[in-house]
Amino acid sequence: RKEVEQDPGPFNVPEGATVAFNCTYSNSASQSFFWYRQDCRKEPKLLMSVYSSGNEDGRFTAQLNRASQYISLLIRDSKLSDSATYLCVAEYYGGSQGNLIFGKGTKLSVKP
């Protein structure tokens, strides 16, 4: 079974804190990885793709360790607006097509 596992949280942190989310995936055939953000009662939206070399987008840093089948997301200098659920996603390629497998999400609450 193809699965993506995340700590559900919630993570309750003060503004300005650094917070890290971890995720593991079970199928080594996974090809691409993403972090999505989902606000309460809204649709998921792509936050960032995750590359083997690690990648950064402002206050957000994503890392991928293929050997350990492990993905992480680091948020520095947390803002109130970062409060949301963060979904770890692995993509499996079937032939020429991709299929997304979602983790259950990690809830972040940033407090003043």
Partner 1 sequence: DAEITQSPRHKITETGRQVTLACHQTWNHNNMFWYRQDLGHGLRLIHYSYGVQDTNKGEVSDGYSVSRSNTEDLPLTLESAASSQTSVYFCASSPSVPPSSRTFFGQGTRLTVV
Footprint of partner 1 (CB under 8 A): 31-32, 34, 41-46, 49, 87, 91, 93, 96-100, 102-105
Supply the minimum distance, in Å, between the C-beta of residue 40 and partner 1. Answer: 11
Residue 98, CA distances (Å) to 1, 7, 32, 33, 55 in order: 16, 25, 9, 11, 22
CA distance 17 to 22: 17
The nearest distance, CB 14 to partner 1, in angstroms, is 27
Choose between 23 and 75: whose C-beta lies nearer to partner 1: 23
- Minimum distance, C-beta of residue 37 to partner 1, in the bound complex (Å): 11
Sign, CA dihedral 85-101-49-71, equals positive
